[in-house]
Structure 1
């Protein structure tokens, strides 16, 4: 479902070029749940944005469901995201002038899906917010806003769901609810789930963990068995 080949990300700063990501290569199978973990500044959110087509790699290749993101311009990447990708932002990114229902309907309307209102109402019920359909974001709690954001991401039934710190702004009770909701929807829809998190307990619930340190993918945990990634081989491959 996702394949990367020696991808890097370099940005220009006032002090010269800064390489945020070292050459990284890995694969994610359809239906898997993957956690990308690491300290702030390790490059994990940058990696997530590249995988979702929100940014361009400096070098290397990314394939999303067999299609080469690295060969596409922004318009083409946006089309691919609309067709196959859902993204949950840490800061929710809801449109403040739209109700919960309207926020969820928006991707369905943009993609020309049938009966967007009916779809939105159904998924609102799934996330336990049917009674909040006509409330605006500033009338919702943080946990409720995140559930709206998840519903919005799932309404198009994406093949791949990316989540950037989905519980980062929530208290423990709401974090538990969001975690359960993410994995329930992931399993029900067979959606590939890739999330970035500081939360080791959340990461442990995923099938695999990719650990980031200073822009390098240092090890992979699969079913509680840890194997070291050969970073030097990744660099040579680049």
Structure 2
């Protein structure tokens, strides 16, 4: 489902070129859940952005569902994201002028899906927010906003879901709820899940962990299925 071949990222600064990612190669199978972990500044979020087509690689190749992101322009990557990718941000990234319902409807409308309002209400019900559908983001708690963001990410039934610190701005109680919801919807919809996290509990629920340090992939750990914790 995802294949990275010798992916690098270099940015220009006032002091010259800065290498953010050294050559990184790995694959993620369809339906697999993978956590990218490591210290702050290790390149986790940069890698996630490249995998999701939010940024362009400097060198190397990235294939999503057989399509080469590395050879696409921004418009082509945007189309691919719209068709196959969902993304959940740490800061929720909800449109403040839209209600929860309207935020969730937005990707379905852009994708041209039939009955976006009905689809949005159905998925809001699945995440326990149907009763808050007509509230604006500033009227929702942090946990409710993240649930709305998850609903928005899943409404188009993406093949691949990327999540950048999805529990990073939440307390322990809401983190547990979001963790449970992420993996529940991942299982029910068969979506490939790749997430960046500092949350060990969240990472331990994934099938595999990729550990990064200073822009390099330094370790790959398969989580024993028998020892994985059940999502609450």
TM band (smaller chain): over 0.9
Report whether the alignment pairs 1:153 with 2:165. no
Tell me the CA shift for residue 164 of structure 1: 0.1
Q: Corresponding residue for 1:103? A: 103
Q: Tell me the equivalent position of 2:210.
A: 210
State how far apart, in whole Å, the 2-side matches of 1:70 and 1:108 are.
Answer: 26
* Distance in 2 (alpha carbons) for counterparts of 1:159 and 1:92: 20
* In 1, Cα distance between equivalents of 2:223 and 2:142: 32
- Is the CA contact 2:127–2:181 (under 8 Å) kept in the aligned structure 1? yes
Tell me the distance in 1 between the aligned counterparts of 2:219 and 2:42: 14
| Contact kept? 2:204, 2:223, Cα under 8 Å | no
Q: Which runs of structure 2 are paired with 1:159-238 in the superposition (5 Å)?
A: 159-224=159-224
Alignment partners' CA distance in 1, 2:217 and 2:189: 29
Alignment partners' CA distance in 2, 1:194 and 1:114: 28
Measure the CA separation in 1 of the matches of 2:52 and 2:140: 27
Once the two structures are TM-superposed, the CA of residue 224 in structure 1 deviates from its matched residue by: 4.4
CA distance in 1, matches of 2:173, 2:4: 36
TM-score by length of 1: 0.94
Work out the CA distance in 2 between the residues paired with 1:114 and 1:148: 20
Query: What do residues 9-53 of structure 1 show as CA deviations (whole Å, max 9, x unaligned)?
Result: 000111111000000000000000000001110000000000000
Where structure 2 has 5 or more consecutive residues not aligned to the other structure, the ranges are 226-232
Corresponding residue for 1:20?
Answer: 20
State how far apart, in whole Å, the 1-side matches of 2:203 and 2:66 are: 26
* In 1: Cα distance, 2:221 partner to 2:162 partner: 19
CA distance in 1, matches of 2:218, 2:81: 28
Structure 1's consecutive aligned runs of 4 or more residues displaced over 4 angstroms after TM superposition are none
What stretches of structure 1 of length at least 5 have no aligned partner? Answer: 226-238
Q: Which residue of 2 aligns with 1:115?
A: 115
CA RMSD of the aligned region, Å? 0.8
* Number of residue pairs aligned between Structure 1 and Structure 2: 225
User: Aligned-pair distance for 1:223?
Assistant: 2.4
1:188 partner SS = helix
TM norm structure 2:
0.96
